[in-house]
Each structure stands twice: as structure tokens, then as C-alpha cells.
Amino acid sequence: MSIGFVVLKNELITGSLAQQIKAENFCLFLASVGVLGVGCSVGWTSPTIKKLEKQKIITASQSSWIASAHEIGHFLSPFPVGYLVGKIGRIWLLLAASILAIAGWVLVLCFNQGYHIALLYASRVLFGLSMGTVFTVVPLYIAEVAPPTSRGALSTLFQAMLYLGHLLEYSAGPYSSYTALAIISMVVACTWLVTTLCMKESPVYLVQNGRNDKAIDNIAWLLNTNDSEIIRAELVKTEQMLDQRWERSIWDLFKQGYRAKLTIVCFAAAAQRFTGMSSVVAYAAQTFPSTKGFLNSDQYTILFGFLVFAFTFVSASLIDSLGRRPLMIASAFGCGVAHAVTAVYFGWNTDSLTWIPFLSITSFSVLYSLGIGPIVNTLQGELFPPELKGYASSIVTIVHAATSFMVTKSFQVIKNDAGLYVNFIIYAALCFLSSVIAYLFVPETKRKHLMETQGTED
């Protein structure tokens, strides 16, 4: 396809949404709808487990498996996805993930007919497979499509949509039936399927697979430009980035040049989960105590979800100005302080001052959403070249899944055997440790082109 033909074709877009907002940002928004779907499947446990336990349909042991079983699928999917992302592309994998999510909601609805716990376990594993695919593919897609000046801010869209999914479940769950909530969540998954069909494939993937004509077409659409020089310059830049990088394997990540980067991003992923965010999200409705004459636990949970979602946009305004590293250091330290306050409250074991855990846990979540939450996805997309990103994303997602499973599954066990406050003591200690390690080792990548951040210098 010639540049001239692409320019002509691009002129036909006049009056479309692509001219009202930057097309590449529109495409990134479409990609983030999948993250919204994942957020719904994660946030669903908080109101639903509370209901099922109250109705004595499930036991405490079963509830801990329901909350954590999705991490099994999350753990199993990254390596196959990391291999396939370079073979069949980003879009096909996101379509497959949406179908897995829809199938999971079908099983959730089937559980309501016969109450066989295996159906819920199976649905959670399907959600995990979908989640692992999204967590591997979407950060890669964002890094390849987003411009350097706003790549960090757009990466926070990932976290914002995840929290929006939580908020949707928190808000609808207490006031709708089990079936109604599952149908609402399935509608989100179906919307995800439709929006993915509207996305454009990453030009990096197309050039990497020798499909330069299609890459030119997509670059023109994404940049929403008729300027053949701009289109050609972007294509050349992509080709240069890929030059002499065709023969790579997963073992290259463990060689000098990328080993340190892989260690840093894996640390960031583990630190993100060891803050305890997985268990806070899964058990929010059960953790917040009701305050007589003020808010009940469900209302606290909704307010919690809204504040976490809202402050993600504050992070979007800071991440490309203050930088990744200072935000991560301050965020991890602040999370540690918040958890320490929560531990003191639950260790004190008083029925008064029931607003303290809401304030401290919400403060933790706000601080998390300002730094350590979104920065992992940003670093994951920035530090590795295209032919290694799939492998790197796979390893990072597996670390994320393993640590998330440990945190979510152990929460109920520690709560029952040692006391709820012990969970928060552990989280506080790990947050302080993460802040120190981030100060010592995490690099700064703000406003740098991918060719700079993906260099192999140690």
C-alpha cells in the first residue's frame, strides 16, 4: 500500500471520532475496556462473598478459595500468551480474553441454579486466564502505541479502569441480586468484546512480522494525520527500534543488559501485591466495620472504591512530571504508614472510632493508586524491546499472580488464626522494605523514547 493511498484513505475519516480526539488515545481507551472487565471479575468477590456467607451457601474456607482461585488462571496464562503475542498479535489475544470472561460469567449464573461450588471455582479460573492475558498484552500495547510525552499518564488508565470495575461491583453488588450483578458484569464483558473488534493492531507488531503496508495504514489512523513525511518518519523509527533484534529468546532476559531490568520490574510487581491490595479489594465489604449513625460497611466500600478510582487520575497528572521513581518511593512508604495505623486499630480491638480503618485503608489505597499501582505497568512496557516484551510481560505477570495468590489466600487464614491486625503488620513491613529497595534500584524513565529506555546498559 502506498503512502498516497493511506493519505487518501485517512481523509475519509473526516467527521469521525478519530478527528475529535487523538486516535491513538481512543485506541488505548478501547484497550482499557478489557481492564474494566477484569476489574469487575476481581471486585465481584467483595459484595458476593459477603452475601453467600450470610446465606450460609459457602463456608469461610470456600470463600478464601473463591477470592483467590482466579490467580491460578492468572498464573497459567502468561507464558502461552507471551509466546502468542508475537505470533498472532495483540488484538486476537484480547478477543480471546473477552470470550473467556463471558464464559466465566455464564458459569457464575449457572451456580445460582444448583449451588455447586465447582462452578464458581471454574469461573474464577477462567477469569484468571482472562486477567493474565490482559495483564500481559495491554501494558505492551500501551507502550507501543502511546506517545513518549504521555505514555506514563496513559499507562495509569490501565489502573483507573481496573478500579472502575471494582467500583461498579461495589456499587451494584449490595443493591442487586446475585443474578442481576452477574448479568451486569456479563454486559461489561460483551462490551469489551465489541470494543476490541474496533481496535487497531500495534504497528510495532505489524513491522516485526513484515507487514509494513498494514503498519503504514495503522500509523496514519493512529496519528490521525495526512502528512506522509510524519507517517514515514514513524515507520522508520519503528524499523530502527526493531533493527537487528529478530533472533531473541526468553533466555536473553537473563543475560547482562536485561537481567537487572527484569529483576526491577519483578520486584515492582511483587511489591505491588505485597502491599495487600489484592486482599483489601477481595474482602473490603467484610473488613470495613459499620459505624452506627453514619455509614454501613457496604457504603464504606463504595466510598473506598470511588476514592481509589478518582485518585488514579491524580497519578496520571503526576507520573510524567514528577517521574516514576519518586512516586513509587513515596507511595510505598505512605502505604506502610497507613497499614501501621490499621494494624494498631484492629490490634486495639475497640468498637469505638470505627471510622479509623476506613480512613487508614482508604489512605493506603489512594497512596497505592498514586504510585506503586500504575507504575508497574508503565515500567513493564518501557524497559524491554518489542521482541522481548512478550516474554518479560509473561514473567512479570506470573510473579504478580503468585504473590497475589499468596496475599489473598493467606488473608482469611491469618485473620482466623492470628487476628486481622497481623495481616496489616505484615503489609506495613513489606511496604517500608519496598520503599527502600525502590530508592536504591528503580530507574527513572519519564519522557524518554523507547529506544532509550530499552537500551542494554547496566
The C-alpha cell that represents 192 in the structure block: 469489551
What share of the chain in percent tops pLDDT 70? 84
Confidence of residue 422 (pLDDT cuts 50, 70, 90): very high
| Choice between 387 and 116, residue whose per-residue pLDDT is larger | 116
The per-residue pLDDT for 9 is: 38
CA distance 451 to 330: 28
Least confident of 159-168, 253-262, 359-368, 378-387: 378-387
Point out the least confidently predicted range of 216-230, 359-373, 440-454.
440-454
Give me the residue label for grid cell 455509614: 295
Prediction pTM value:
0.75
For 259, residues 6+ apart whose C-beta sits below 8 A from its C-beta are 253
Please indicate whether residue 407 or residue 282 has the higher confidence score (pLDDT): 407
pLDDT score for 153: 64
pLDDT above 90 coverage of the chain, percent: 28
Residue-wise pLDDT for 277-327, tens only, equals 888 888 887 787 755 556 788 888 888 888 888 887 777 677 667 777 888
HSE (side-chain half, CA atoms, 13 Å) at 283: 27
- Are 167 and 311 in contact by the 8 Å Cβ rule? The answer is no
pLDDT for the residue numbered 350: 64
Q: Which residue has the cell 503498519?
A: 215
Asked if pLDDT for residue 216 goes beyond 50, the answer is yes
**Grid cell at residue 395:** 514473567
Average pLDDT over residues 151-167: 79
Q: In whole angstroms, what is the distance from residue 43 CA to residue 165 CA?
A: 7
The answer to whether residue 183 scores a pLDDT higher than 50 is yes
The CA distance from 271 to 373, in Å, is: 9
Indicate the pLDDT class of residue 225, thresholds 50, 70 and 90: confident
Res. 392 pLDDT band, cuts 50 70 90: confident
Rounded Cα distance between 216 and 3, Å, is 7
pLDDT (0 to 100) of residue 15: 37
- Is 200:179 a contact under the CB 8 Å cutoff? no
Whether 177 has a pLDDT exceeding 80, the answer reads yes
Residue 458 has pLDDT above 60, yes or no: no
> Cβ(112)–Cβ(179) under 8 Å?
yes
Residue 325 burial (CB count, 10 A): 19
Whether pLDDT at 241 is above 90: no
Looking at residue 430, what is its pLDDT? 94
Residue 423 three-state SS: helix
The model's confidence at residue 386, banded by pLDDT at 50, 70 and 90, is low
Mean pLDDT along residues 111-118: 84
- On the question of pLDDT at 215 being above 50, the answer is yes
Asked if residue 389 lies in contact with residue 381, where contact means CB atoms within 8 angstroms, the answer is yes
How far is Cα 34 from Cα 165, in angstroms, rounded to an integer?
10
* pLDDT given for residue 294 in this prediction: 67
The DSSP H or E segment spanning 411 is: helix 386-417
In this prediction, residue 139 carries a pLDDT of 79
CB 265 within 8 A of CB 396: yes
Report for 74-83, 116-125, 287-296: range of highest mean pLDDT: 116-125
> Taking a C-beta distance cutoff of 8 angstroms, is the pair 46, 281 a contact?
yes
Q: Amino acid letter at 239?
A: E
CB 305 within 8 A of CB 427: no
pLDDT digits (tens, 9 = 90+) for 354-380: 778 888 888 888 888 788 877 777 777
Specify whether the CB–CB gap between 89 and 205 falls below 8 A: yes
* Mean predicted lDDT score pLDDT of the chain: 81
Contacts 24+ apart (CB under 8 A), 443-448: 443/264, 443/325, 443/383, 444/323, 444/324, 444/325, 445/324, 445/378, 445/379, 445/382, 445/383, 446/152, 446/319, 446/320, 446/321, 446/323, 446/324, 447/148, 447/149, 447/320, 448/148, 448/382
Residue with grid cell 478510582, as numbered in its chain: 309
Q: Return the number of other C-beta atoms located less than 10 Å from residue 180's C-beta.
A: 12
In angstroms, the first-to-last Cα distance of the chain is: 41
105: pLDDT strictly greater than 90: yes
- The pLDDT, as a whole number, for residue 451 is 59
What is the C-alpha separation between 60 and 413, in angstroms, rounded?
9
Give pLDDT, residue 397: 80
